[in-house]
Amino acid sequence: MAQMDRKTDRQIRADVTGELDCAAGLDTARLDVSVRGGMVTLSGQVNSDIDRLATKRMVGLVPGVRAVADRLVVRAPGTPGTADAELAELASRLLESAVDVPAKAVRAGVRDRVITLSGDVTSERQRDAASEAVRHIRGAVGLTNDIRVERPSAPHAP
């Protein structure tokens, strides 16, 4: 009877990935889950040690999981070894949240881990704020600021 109640590895994997996908704040795009005999192996990358521990705990609580093997690597976006696309995504998020940078006025491109800022702003302060927002991204090896400062045109007098 106990044999019939036991979940298959496929069912356990589906349950584990479902739990991980529902976890708030956990980036599961870089995770891989494999199951053999109820033993779950987690591999891939997580953003922090906290994410690593939370992932292992969460998986260990899934019914049918007998043990969890941890092959996770902690590598936050923007650390050395991350892809240009990850750096560009992080730079874009930082620009969007920068108070002194007008919304959607500045774009970030990345090639060979060098961030290039482009767009149009109305003051040097905004241009400098954009640079400051992305200057300290770990993993980036350079920053080029190609943002143009366009002075607002004066209203025409009648």
The per-residue pLDDT for 1 is 44
- CB within 8 A of 130, min separation 6: which ones? 95, 98, 101, 106, 117, 119, 121, 145, 147
Residue 42 and residue 94 in one domain: no
What is the extent of the structural domain holding 53? 2-74
pLDDT > 90? residue 36: yes
pTM score, whole prediction: 0.49
Mean pLDDT (the chain) is 86
pLDDT > 50? residue 13: yes
- CB within 8 A of 113, min separation 6: which ones? 84, 87, 139, 140, 141, 142
Residue 150 in contact with residue 122, Cβ under 8 Å?
Answer: yes
The per-residue pLDDT for 100 is 93
Query: Three-state SS for 157?
Result: coil
In a domain, 154, yes or no: no
Backbone phi, psi, residue 154, to 5°: -75, 145
pLDDT > 80? residue 123: yes
Share of the chain above pLDDT 70, in %: 88
Q: pLDDT digits over 85-113, tens only?
A: 888 888 998 999 889 999 899 999 998 88
Q: pLDDT digits over 46-62, tens only?
A: 888 888 888 999 999 99
The per-residue pLDDT for 3 is 52
The tally of domains found in the chain comes to 2
Residue 21 and residue 62 in one domain: yes
Q: Which of 74, 95, 117 is the last residue of a domain?
A: 74
Measured between alpha carbons, how far is residue 44 from residues 31, 74, 79 in Å?
5, 9, 15
In a domain, 54, yes or no: yes
CATH code of 128's domain: 3.30.1340.30
Backbone phi, psi, residue 136, to 5°: -105, 25
Residue 90 and residue 57 in one domain: no
